[in-house]
Structure 1
Amino acid sequence: MGCVKLLFFMLYTVLCQLAFSSSLCPKDQALSLLQFKHMFTINPDASYDCEFSHPKTRSWKKSMDCCSWNGVHCDKTTGQVIELDLRCSELQGKFHSNSSLFQLFNLKRLDLSYNDFTGSLISPKFGEFSSLTHLDLSHSNFTGLIPSEISHLSKLHVLCIWNPSGGLYDLSLSLGPYNFELLLQNLTQLRELALYGVNISSTIPSNFSSHLTTLELSDTHLHGVLPERIFHLSNLKTLDLSYNHKLTVRFPITKWNSSASLMYLYLYHVNITGRIPESFTHLTSLHDLDMGYSNLSGPIPKSLWNLTHVEWLSLSYNHLEGPISQFSRFGKLRELYLGYNNFAGRLEFLSFNRNWTQLEALYFSSNYLTGPIPTNVSGLQNLLWLELSSNHLNGTIPSWIFSLSSLTYLDLSDNHLGGKIQEFKSNTLSHVDLRQNQLQGPLPNSLLNQPLLTYLLLSHNNISGQIASTICNLKTLIALDLGSNNLEGTIPKCLVEMNEYLWNLNLSNNNPSGTINTNFSLENYFRVIRLHGNKLTGKVPRSLINCKSLTLLDLGNNQLNDTFPNWLGNLPDLQILSLRSNKFHGPIKSSGNTNFFARLQILDISSNGFSGNLPISLFGNLQAMKKIDESTRTPEYVSDQFAGYYDYLTTITTKGQDYDSVRILDSNMIINLSKNRFKGHIPNIIGDLVGLRTLNLSHNVLEGHIPASLQNLSVLESLDLSSNKISGEIPQQLVSLTSLEVLNLSHNHLVGCIPKGKQFDTFENSSYQGNDGLRGLPLSKHCVSDDQATTPAELDQEEDSPMISWQAVLMGYGCGLVIGLSIIYIMLSTQYPIWFLRLVVQLEHRITTRMKRHKKRY
């Protein structure tokens, strides 16, 4: 009987286990998940940051057990949903604060990262998941304030709310200072805390969980001094405080408690005080170290040479100095970034270093390295990234660089390297920058057949040969810069017709000839086209109207023969237009479209044959020049998302000087219509262009007066109206132009006194020469008074008139006196009536009053 009972009990236990192991999740939880699913659409772009994404909710079917759904995990005993992993699930839509998801009360792990919930707030109901140990809401475009209820999750081990898409731009997620302290105070079980890109804007409290292994607070607007206690968290492996430039970090002088465990230390763009201390010697487990842009100075301390396990080292953008050969001690390095420092010496240590077989990136740009690049280098065969730009390197480019089979990024620009560009062994090149050297010879075929090349920048060398049509094989090009070389031939039509991604084309200052015989397709991404300084003829191709993203068009210094291409005004983003030094002719016709050239900020059509009146309607359309951008005091350059690789350059004339291939500040507002045949008056409407920095109307046939409306150009730095037929006086109102550095009014017909005060006291004779009617400083002809401008003829008349006037007054006074005495004698002797006496007195009073007024006038 006992055996039967035992057998029955065992059978019952097995059946129970089978029942529970195959039990369905509760219907209410399945229903909640299905309701949650239907709140979102599936869009692969919602998880574009993921290397691999998958629409997990598509497997959620009502007929199936929800515990078998993709991303759903249940408790094996109770069937309750305890884990929901929807990372990279391509979900898009609004995450409502009363979402059915909050009915899954037993959740322990919840991962909603890498989806798109744009415009959604983080609901306070997340704080009701009392059993939650892992919560990840990263990269999902939540916005607003992180609710304080998150601090109720006392069992949390992992809290990740990364927001890099808003981090450096708008900090759309924020956590109040009090909430941050409360969060740290209550979440005592935390192992990982990542709030990347969340606006915290506070000091850092010291009450971190002692269990903490990962602390990532990059770009959170922290300030104050980092508590030293953080360095003594004994389990800390990762510390990332990058992009908090108001945060001050002082390293402990003695050994840290976390020294043995710390593996990743990221302090880019924080303020590190003092030098790297000896305590760094104890960071024996450190793999990654980034202290770039952190105000470090002086030589590399000996303590750093002991970090023999470091694989990733970045000390760029500091003031470090000393020999660079010591870096060969880091035998396990994969990436080394030392750019923008004061390191000097030669690269000879590369030739005897055999320890860097695994090195993939070497970055020494903007230092003071000298001498040739060593030729006998054999230990860098796995190098992917080599950047040695802006140094003082000379000699030829050694063959070992061209032999790197996996090379993807090469930047040797701004050095003194010569010789030929050899054939590359690598077919994985994506970026080649050899600008501003003395390289010679033709372009190698291997370079023109790279299947992945996006940037080919070779300007300011001595490269020769034809602009070969084989360059059109570079189907992935984004920027092609071959300017300032000795290339010849015609511009290949295929260059703009077949390339789908090209946005920057620079063939300026070469020797190509012929017409611009190209057909710009509707589907193009051109932002910059520079064909300046060649021998191009014909007309401006009308197909340029298809370049809707075009920002800079420079066709100057060619032999183009056309009328003004007014239709270019339809390009909505055009900011810089240069047609200077060609054979353009005729008047600039008006257009009824008020949006023409609305964003234009540099217009240079100088040295052509344009005629007619100045284009009043064009001036009226220049909306970008009608405002002064005072939102930032830091000058920025005209660019877009690619500016980190390539700046917008053009040739401009300002302050009486020509500047070739200069970077364009977004504050540059320039109009140059000089050396044409424009006639008529200078229109008052130019005074509306208050953002102008340079105005050049010289060497035309302009007449009339200088409009007083120019006083509105408060930031004007250069004004050139020379060599015209302008008459009248210099408006006194121009004294208010306190930014004016260069003024040229020479060779006109100006008269009167030169205004005094402020900038006008700094201009020399050359500003006014060739105006015979001008007087006053700095000219030798003086004005009679400070407040009256007169011509020479008027001055002579003025000097003579007081004498004549006083003679007339005295004669009148004498005659009046004789007549008056005679009348009195007659009246007394004849007893003339009293009314006659009154008449005489009134007459005498009038004469006396007039005489006094005349005397005051002189």
Structure 2
Amino acid sequence: MGSSKCLLISVLLPFFLSIFHFLNICSSLLTQPLCNDFESFALLQFKQSLKINVSASGDPKTSSWNSGEKNDCCLWDGVLCDAGTGHVIGLDLSSSQLYGSFNSNSGLFHLVHLQKLNLAGNDFNYSQIPPSIRYLSNLTHLNLSLTNFSSQIPPEIFELSNLVSLDLSFNPLRLQKPGLKGLCENLTSLKHLYLDEVDISSPVPHTIANLSSLMSLGLSLCGLYGEFPTEIFKLRNLQFLSVKHNQDLRGYLPEFHSSSPLRILRLTNTNFFGKLPDSIGNLPSLYELDINTCNFSGLIPTSIGNLTTLINLHLAINNFFGQIPFSLASLTQLSQLDLCYNNFSPHTLSWLGKQTKLTLLALRQTNSYGDIPSSLKNLTQLTNLRLYQNQLTGQIPSWLANHTQLTVLDLGENKLHGSIPQSISRLVNLEFLRLAGNNFNGSVKLDLYFNLKNLNKLELSGVHLSFPFTSTVNASTPKLIFLGLVACNLTKFPIFLRFQHELEFVDLSHNDIHGQIPKWISNMGKQTLLFLDISFNYLTGFESFNHTSLILPWASLRILNLNSNKLNGSLPIPPPSIVEYSAKSNTLTGKISPLFCNLNSIEILDLSHNNLSGMLPQCLDNLSKSLFVLSLRNNDFRGILPAIYMEGSTLKAMDVSYNQLEGQIPRSLSNCTMLEILLLRNNHFNDIFPSWLGKLPSLKVLSIRSNGFHSSIGKPKSNFEFPKLHIIDLSYNKFTGNLPYEYFQGWNSMKVANLTYRKVDNLVTYMFTGANPIYLIAFTTITSQNFVWLEYYCFSLVLTNKGIETVYEKIQDTLLVVDLSNNRFEGEISEVIGNLRGLHLLNLSNNYLTGHIPSSLGNLTELESLDFSQNNLSGEIPQQLLQLTFLASFNVSNNHLMGPIPQGQQFATFQSNSYLGNVGLCGSPLTKNCKSYGTSTQPPPNPKQGEGSNFPSQSDWVVIIMGYGGGLVVGFIIGNNLNVRKLEWVVKNLRRRQ
């Protein structure tokens, strides 16, 4: 019996003990301390110091805070108390619609037991982070991201030595003096540091590598520069690293060990360079690699196929070459793959098909060829397919219409042929469709695309279209934002445009549209239109939009291109919003309306090649504050050039050639310190040499040809005048005295061959890919929520080459020219001219020059054209000229030269008319034999022989001077959620990459 009782007790004892423990817990919960009255009061004071912005997103958590029955602050939304003491240790008010300025007296800073504080996603109205933050010395987690705090980050934050997580990102803050180095030296326990978009403007300190616990580092768009410390990559706990959008930050990737826990690596839009190491495949946890728009090169290692956890892979806009590795087929978890704009070898898309989770596939300009592979059928989750600008052939497969989730389909600029399948109309979710630039046959009815109710961007340029000109367009017709119908064989404006009230971009250029622009076109995007290009048609004018003057109706228009039509009558007046206005190559007449003086935002104005007349209005000084390109070339403007250029002028290029302007060049042009191109040729200016222009630091091109400039040029006042000059044309004036040798000595930009200049604000040089040259262009941009458009404007120039006036439709940035012909210069040609080693064209003809041809001209190894004809030169033609292996045109006719003509090399290509009028010359190609002179057939020793020249060959040069028929080169980038900041880095890095 006793043993039975013992057994029963042993069985029931654990049960009773568990009940006792449960009751004890309940008792302790029932007796948990209430919120401290002092802390409750502090929270209410904090609440009262701020407002609730009901229009902001989020949940107003503080609305539950009150001093009534529910006065225990531990029960309030977002408040966390210590279970033992009742002190407030956590406060999460993220996205709580709080609004107002923060000050040091805030009740928040009385919560000295706080360990976690999250105020992210509120708006503190650009106030400063108060120094009183130091009183929260127990903080381990501080999140103030997206709160509109501004100014310098207070050094008192550095005193919060217990912080393991600090997030101040996406605020207009500065971290300077003390900077990032001081932060890292004080907050040594950090595991998570996010300072994205904080202005740091310093190198990345090596002390970050001392933060041995660091797991996350976010430093995107911080103005970082210098060399990125590679030891940071080797932090043993680092999982997240983002330094993207720091354009001046250099670095390279180290060798990675398989123990690295790195999961996310973002280097987009930095200057990281070198190869992707083979050891990139040693990162088993990596699921995002984003290195778009860097300077990486070499082969993509096949080991990248080891990263089987990758979800996002972005390698676009780099210099990768060779084959796209087939190992990409192993990345079956990929959701986004972007390889655009690299230098891959020609390849098919055979590696595609197993990545069945892909939603974005971007292979623009990747040198892909062959048919669109049937393996793409497997990618059923695709929403964004971009195969733009490749060598794809065959037809658009009908099965593509089964990808009904597609919102973007971009097959433009390929070699696709056949008909466009009507099944595309089944892609009911499609928002953007581009089929432009292919070889489709037949005619396509545009109303086929009216079934795509979500369509808002349509680019069919180069496709022959037929339109329902008379059909009724109903309310279900898609509302377009972007429409590109370039070279679509249009003969009329499509009537459906009349009902497109949301259009922002319309390009109908290079069609066959005749007659007047109908009045109803004003309804097209009347409030929304940003871009309109109707150039290269046969349009004669606008049906009057009002009774007083031709004021165009689009209130938001930024870019308008009316080039190369048959427009007559008065010049149409754009709205004040206009940024670029081009109406060149028409037959417009009359004066420039004073209303043009109200265009305070205009940057590019091109009215060249018309019949405009009258005097230029003085009020154009309003434009000089924003204008950076002004072209009035080939009109009938008279009078003086207005002295309208004030200090701070943004003008970078001006062309008023081929008019009837007279008087002096306005000295106020010296205020245009950004001026790069000045073209004044073929007017009636009467002035001395404008030596004061030599102080302009960026002037590259100066042409004052065919005017009444006179007197001696004189000497420069310093050795630093015209420091960037590439092209100078003073021909057909009345200059006297000696050649300006002292200026020659200062033209340093002409002393080096193959110069390359990069971006200078909005006036830039643009490098075309491959072996093509670099040209001077300007660009403007327009940005909306739906697209970013980059508009490139090319400058043209007329030069005398090979004795013929040649139109350079684009000005090559490496082209170096000196033309002083058809003046009254006298004296000898100095040996100094041989220092201008980069020269391509040199013309001193039709002067009164005497003496010998200097042998130093043999140093001008880039020279393509040399003209000394119609002078009084004597002596022999130097044998050193045989070193000019690019020389394509040579003329020394009508001088007093004598002796043997150099034989061989380029001289074997010149005809006898190059030497006519020199009775003392002998040797081929002349019939006169050289009896008293030895005939040399070899050039003298050239100390630089064997060094290569990167300047184009003669055949290349012919292509260059032909240029292109149009004056505009355009391109666009369409993407989601683009803004001006992103645009700047896209633009910069596209140029850098190319």
**TM-score bucket of the superposed structures, by smaller chain:** 0.7 to 0.9
**Structure 2 counterpart of 1:242:** 340
Call closer, same or farther: CA 1:648–1:152 in 2, change over 3 Å.
Answer: same
Query: Where do residues 59-74 of structure 1 align in structure 2 (5 Å cutoff)?
Result: 61-64=133-136, 66=139, 70-71=144-145
Instruction: Give 1:428's match in structure 2, choosing from 549, 553, 556.
Output: 556
What is the CA-CA distance between 1:276 and the residue it aligns to?
A: 1.8
**Is 1:739 aligned to residue 886 of structure 2?**
yes
Instruction: Give 1:604's match in structure 2, choosing from 729, 733, 736.
Output: 729
**Structure 1 counterpart of 2:907:** 760
**Structure 2 counterpart of 1:375:** 494
**Structure 2 counterpart of 1:173:** 272
Call closer, same or farther: CA 1:227–1:97 in 2, change over 3 Å.
Answer: farther
Q: For residue 637 of structure 1, give the secondary structure of its aligned residue in structure 2.
A: strand
Q: In proportion to residue count, which structure has more helix?
A: 1
Instruction: Give 1:251's match in structure 2, choosing from 349, 356, 376.
Output: 349
**Structure 2 counterpart of 1:671:** 818
**Structure 1 counterpart of 2:539:** 418
Instruction: Give 1:217's match in structure 2, choosing from 285, 297, 315.
Output: 315
Call closer, same or farther: CA 1:252–1:5 in 2, change over 3 Å.
Answer: same
Distance 1:548 1:440 in 2: 36
Query: Where do residues 53-132 of structure 1 align in structure 2 (5 Å cutoff)?
Result: 57=129, 61-64=133-136, 66=139, 70-71=144-145, 81-82=164-165, 84-93=167-176, 94-96=179-181, 99-100=184-185, 103-105=188-190, 107=191, 110-121=193-204, 132=215
Contact 2:246 2:269 in 1 (8 A): no
Distance 1:52 1:701 in 2: 76
**Structure 2 counterpart of 1:264:** 360
Contact 1:361 1:383 in 2 (8 A): no
- Letter matched to residue 638 of structure 1: L
Contact 1:345 1:369 in 2 (8 A): no
Instruction: Give 2:749's match in structure 1, choosing from 604, 612, 624.
Output: 624
What is the CA-CA distance between 1:346 and the residue it aligns to?
A: 6.2
Query: Where do residues 93-492 of structure 1 align in structure 2 (5 Å cutoff)?
Result: 93=176, 94-96=179-181, 99-100=184-185, 103-105=188-190, 107=191, 110-121=193-204, 132=215, 135-140=217-222, 141=224, 143-145=226-228, 147=230, 150=233, 156=239, 159-163=241-245, 165-166=247-248, 171-173=270-272, 177-178=276-277, 181-182=279-280, 185-188=282-285, 190-198=286-294, 201=297, 203-204=300-301, 205-207=303-305, 210-228=308-326, 230-231=328-329, 233-246=331-344, 250-252=348-350, 255-256=353-354, 258-259=355-356, 261-323=357-419, 330-338=427-435, 341-342=438-439, 348-349=445-446, 353=450, 355=452, 358-360=455-457, 362=459, 364=461, 369-378=488-497, 380-389=500-509, 402=522, 403-405=524-526, 406-413=528-535, 415-421=536-542, 423=545, 424-445=552-573, 447=574, 450-492=575-617
Distance 2:124 2:30 in 1: 46
Distance 1:454 1:688 in 2: 42
Higher relative contact order (CA 8 A, sep 6+): 2
Call closer, same or farther: CA 1:343–1:725 in 2, change over 3 Å.
Answer: farther
What is the CA-CA distance between 1:564 and the residue it aligns to?
A: 1.4
- Letter matched to residue 457 of structure 1: S
- Letter matched to residue 203 of structure 1: I
- Letter matched to residue 821 of structure 2: S
What is the CA-CA distance between 1:656 and the residue it aligns to?
A: 1.6
Distance 2:132 2:340 in 1: 41
Q: For residue 573 of structure 1, give the secondary structure of its aligned residue in structure 2.
A: coil
CA-to-aligned-CA distance 1:733-767 (integer Å, 9 cap, x gap) = 22222211111222222223322111111111211
Call closer, same or farther: CA 1:360–1:463 in 2, change over 3 Å.
Answer: farther
Distance 1:99 1:471 in 2: 56
CA-to-aligned-CA distance 1:515-542 (integer Å, 9 cap, x gap) = 1123210011111010000111111111
Distance 1:719 1:53 in 2: 67
Call closer, same or farther: CA 1:648–1:444 in 2, change over 3 Å.
Answer: closer
CA-to-aligned-CA distance 1:430-475 (integer Å, 9 cap, x gap) = 1112323333332334x2xx23211112212222232112112111
Contact 1:472 1:499 in 2 (8 A): no
Q: For residue 638 of structure 1, give the secondary structure of its aligned residue in structure 2.
A: strand
Distance 1:111 1:187 in 2: 24
The CA RMSD over aligned residues, in Å, is 3.9
Distance 1:758 1:566 in 2: 39
Query: Where do residues 518-667 of structure 1 align in structure 2 (5 Å cutoff)?
Result: 518-629=643-754, 634-639=772-777, 645-660=792-807, 662-667=809-814
My pick for the range that moved more, 749-758 or 141-150, is 141-150
**Structure 2 counterpart of 1:504:** 629
Question: Taking structure 1 as the reference length, what is the TM-score of the superposition?
Answer: 0.77
Report percent identity of matched pairs: 31
- Letter matched to residue 181 of structure 2: H
Call closer, same or farther: CA 1:484–1:200 in 2, change over 3 Å.
Answer: closer
Call closer, same or farther: CA 1:419–1:286 in 2, change over 3 Å.
Answer: farther
What is the CA-CA distance between 1:341 and the residue it aligns to?
A: 4.9
Contact 1:138 1:161 in 2 (8 A): yes
What is the CA-CA distance between 1:72 and the residue it aligns to?
A: 11
Instruction: Give 2:638's match in structure 1, choosing from 502, 508, 513.
Output: 513
Contact 1:221 1:244 in 2 (8 A): yes
Call closer, same or farther: CA 1:690–1:191 in 2, change over 3 Å.
Answer: closer
Distance 2:308 2:935 in 1: 83
What is the CA-CA distance between 1:124 and the residue it aligns to?
A: 7.9
Q: For residue 436 of structure 1, give the secondary structure of its aligned residue in structure 2.
A: coil
Distance 2:832 2:919 in 1: 29
Distance 1:542 1:744 in 2: 37
What is the CA-CA distance between 1:620 and the residue it aligns to?
A: 2.0
- Letter matched to residue 561 of structure 2: D
Call closer, same or farther: CA 1:636–1:318 in 2, change over 3 Å.
Answer: farther
My pick for the range that moved more, 616-625 or 326-335, is 326-335
**Is 1:495 aligned to residue 633 of structure 2?**
no
**Structure 2 counterpart of 1:774:** 921
What is the CA-CA distance between 1:476 and the residue it aligns to?
A: 0.6
**Structure 1 counterpart of 2:41:** none
Q: For residue 419 of structure 1, give the secondary structure of its aligned residue in structure 2.
A: strand
CA-to-aligned-CA distance 1:178-208 (integer Å, 9 cap, x gap) = 4x735x53452x4433333455545242355
CA-to-aligned-CA distance 1:18-64 (integer Å, 9 cap, x gap) = 325854489xxxxxxxxxxxxxxxxxxxxxxxx99968855872234
Contact 1:160 1:193 in 2 (8 A): no
Q: For residue 645 of structure 1, give the secondary structure of its aligned residue in structure 2.
A: strand
Contact 1:85 1:111 in 2 (8 A): yes
Call closer, same or farther: CA 1:521–1:321 in 2, change over 3 Å.
Answer: farther
Distance 1:708 1:6 in 2: 104
Distance 2:130 2:290 in 1: 30
What is the CA-CA distance between 1:287 and the residue it aligns to?
A: 2.7
Contact 1:357 1:381 in 2 (8 A): no
Question: Taking structure 2 as the reference length, what is the TM-score of the superposition?
Answer: 0.68
Q: For residue 774 of structure 2, give the secondary structure of its aligned residue in structure 1.
A: coil
Residues matched between the structures, number: 747
Q: For residue 793 of structure 2, give the secondary structure of its aligned residue in structure 1.
A: coil
